[in-house]
A and B are shown apart, each in its own frame.
Chain A
């Protein structure tokens, strides 16, 4: 219960709901940002926050949050409450959600960038081995851009893409606190394809078998036949019935896509265009 109470408190101070502002002032051309690799091959970059810094942070595609050390948070004026910890719980810092008014990463400028104030032990361990490291730049930052990552030239590029990352802290808290089992994942094809597929439980071979192809539908027009084994649809493996639906949930009606089927032991490519309908 103690844990859940503590979690609930975290829930209550989750203040960064609402859409993040789009990055501004960043040129439409890709902004190149050089990075440096630590001996552990972690990517580090230099950022300034609210005009302070530069600070060295780890760039991490595997982090759903961006983190900043309590020291830098204080220095850059990030802590709205003056850096007070949560009921004296200060194991990894206050874990307070804050927003950087401005953040600069090389030629990239962004506004209202969310961080959690947290002294992550792994970051601290790296800092003690390799010199100051003050946080992690994660998903909430890089998701706003079309980003390329190139270890060979030790460079990233950024172009704003209008994507607005969702605040998952809230959703994760809800999920954690909820008594419910996982919310089902609804797979609704965007278009009408005109076939059905099946797969027996003991069938572990790639692909699914077409059990129905409706006359006049897109599948029939594409030359698909009952008994064909659909292996790939629009670059996606269709190794289960659910996989097949999952592929169809992202293909808009009217879009021609390629697929691979196996018929009488031979693989062949098909082109198929779903239509509006269901």
Chain B
């Protein structure tokens, strides 16, 4: 049972792939936003026929563009007997247009396992493999916020199938077991989000801490009575020495939170009660 953790995270897939279509040449690279999942997979988003966005993993180990059947069903994408379908428009975030793309309508056991156990922290809808990746010169750099995708005038040749025997034996059964385990533990594919609450205050780092620069009219900070020049020294019982520390403390509170701020105004200590709202 030892390899069960490792195996669902690998995306090394073997299937037969039909031809892909060449993209229109463009002079400069597209900038494609991405994020790393909890499993260190490179995730990009794409819209299929204008719907979505859906979450995809970039995988040189996959010989096709995979989209899970649930999404295809919702979008009315039909698959033939060998699970191949066709989508009119596949647009990657960063305005990368791909037209008339062949797609494998299938849920590889790796996706099933990761979604079932909530391992990636995000629901995965598919995998972008070789036929799409090969049409670009792609730069990966995890110190940057966006990838660079330069379109190539290149019609990638089709992959040859290796055969069904390549899939790890009994993997489907193992994944079923893992899904049950994930269900028992209450695992979700998509982690819930918390949106930080809004204060409506422009701040700067001063010599002795964080100083209020200006207040936005009608914002919670103005309503609470903060004034330009006030120095914020504490949120609840937590000291905040600089803007960075203050941001970290503030990030713990969503909208509609009541916060007690300790401030210094004209040399005197005061307490201010601020109620956060929605906004950014």
B194 contacts A185, C-beta separation under 8 Å? yes
Contacts of B166 in A (CB 8 A): 121-122, 125-126
In the assembled complex, B193 has its CB within 8 A of some CB on chain A: yes
Contacts of A63 in B (CB 8 A): 9-12, 61
Interface centre among B3, B9, B160, B213 (most CB of A within 10 A): B3
A60 contacts B280, C-beta separation under 8 Å? no
CA distance A65 to B12 in the complex (A): 12
CA distance A236 to B121 in the complex (A): 20
Contact status of A2 and B1, CB under 8 A, knowing A152-B137, A242-B195, A245-B196: yes
Contact of A149 among B9, B140, B161 (CB under 8 A): B140
B45 contacts A237, C-beta separation under 8 Å? yes
Contact status of A182 and B191, CB under 8 A, knowing A40-B159, A58-B12: yes
CA distance A275 to B203 in the complex (A): 8
CA distance A18 to B2 in the complex (A): 23
Give the segment of B34-42, B75-83, B263-271 that binds chain A. B34-42
CA distance A276 to B199 in the complex (A): 12
Q: Chain B interface residue count: which class? A: 35 or more
In the assembled complex, A147 has its CB within 8 A of some CB on chain B: yes
A175 contacts B14, C-beta separation under 8 Å? no
Contacts of A245 in B (CB 8 A): 193, 195-196, 280
How many inter-chain contacts with C-beta < 8 Å in the A-B complex? 304
CA distance A178 to B185 in the complex (A): 8
Contact flags B29-58 to A (C-beta < 8 A → 1, else 0)? 001110000111110010100001100011
A40 contacts B63, C-beta separation under 8 Å? yes
In the assembled complex, A241 has its CB within 8 A of some CB on chain B: yes
Interface size on A, residues (CB 8 A): 97
CA distance A95 to B247 in the complex (A): 41
In the assembled complex, A120 has its CB within 8 A of some CB on chain B: yes
Chain A interface main SS type: mixed
CA distance A82 to B244 in the complex (A): 48
In the assembled complex, B26 has its CB within 8 A of some CB on chain A: no
Contact of A212 among B158, B191, B279 (CB under 8 A): B279
A142 contacts B140, C-beta separation under 8 Å? yes
B251 contacts A186, C-beta separation under 8 Å? yes
B159 contacts A278, C-beta separation under 8 Å? no
Distance to closest chain A CB from B245 (angstroms): 12
A176-B117, A187-B193, A239-B52 given; name 15 further pairs at CB < 8 Å.
A39-B160, A40-B160, A65-B6, A118-B6, A129-B163, A147-B139, A148-B140, A169-B5, A179-B186, A185-B191, A190-B247, A235-B93, A245-B195, A245-B280, A277-B202
On B, residues with C-beta under 8 Å from A are 1-7, 9-12, 14, 17, 31-33, 38-42, 45, 47, 52-53, 57-63, 93-95, 117-119, 121, 127, 130, 133-134, 137-143, 145-146, 152, 154, 156-163, 165-169, 177, 181, 185-188, 190-196, 198-204, 213-214, 216-219, 243, 246-247, 250-251, 277-280
On A, residues with C-beta under 8 Å from B are 2-3, 6-7, 9-10, 39-43, 58-65, 86, 89, 91-92, 95, 116, 118, 120-123, 125-126, 129, 136, 139, 142-143, 145-152, 161-163, 165-166, 168-169, 171-173, 175-176, 178-190, 192-198, 212, 214-217, 234-237, 239, 241-242, 244-245, 248, 250, 275-278
